[in-house]
């Protein structure tokens, strides 16, 4: 019984870690694309205001 509990804990930790890593990657990619768009098009004179939304 204890082995099952341990494996469940490990699997939950792995899932949570994968989720946090994927969210971090999405956030980094999102910010990179936003800054790239802003620098290319130069539509927004103040990029700080746009970044504050996130």
Is residue 24 within 8 A of residue 31, CB to CB? The reply is no
pLDDT of residue 39: 64
pLDDT of residue 18: 94
Q: What is the DSSP secondary structure assignment for residue 6, as one 8-state letter?
A: H
pLDDT mean for each 10 residues of the chain (54 residues):
85 94 90 74 54 51
Cα-based distances in Å from 25 to 7, 14, 30, 32, 48: 27, 16, 8, 10, 21
pLDDT of residue 48: 55
């Amino acid at each position: 019984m204890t082995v099952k509990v341990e494996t469940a804990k490990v699997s939950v930790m792995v899932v949570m870690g994968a989720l946090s890593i994927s969210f971090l990657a999405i956030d980094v990619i999102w910010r990179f694309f936003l800054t790239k768009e802003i620098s290319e098009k130069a539509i927004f004179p103040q990029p700080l205001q746009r970044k504050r939304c996130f």
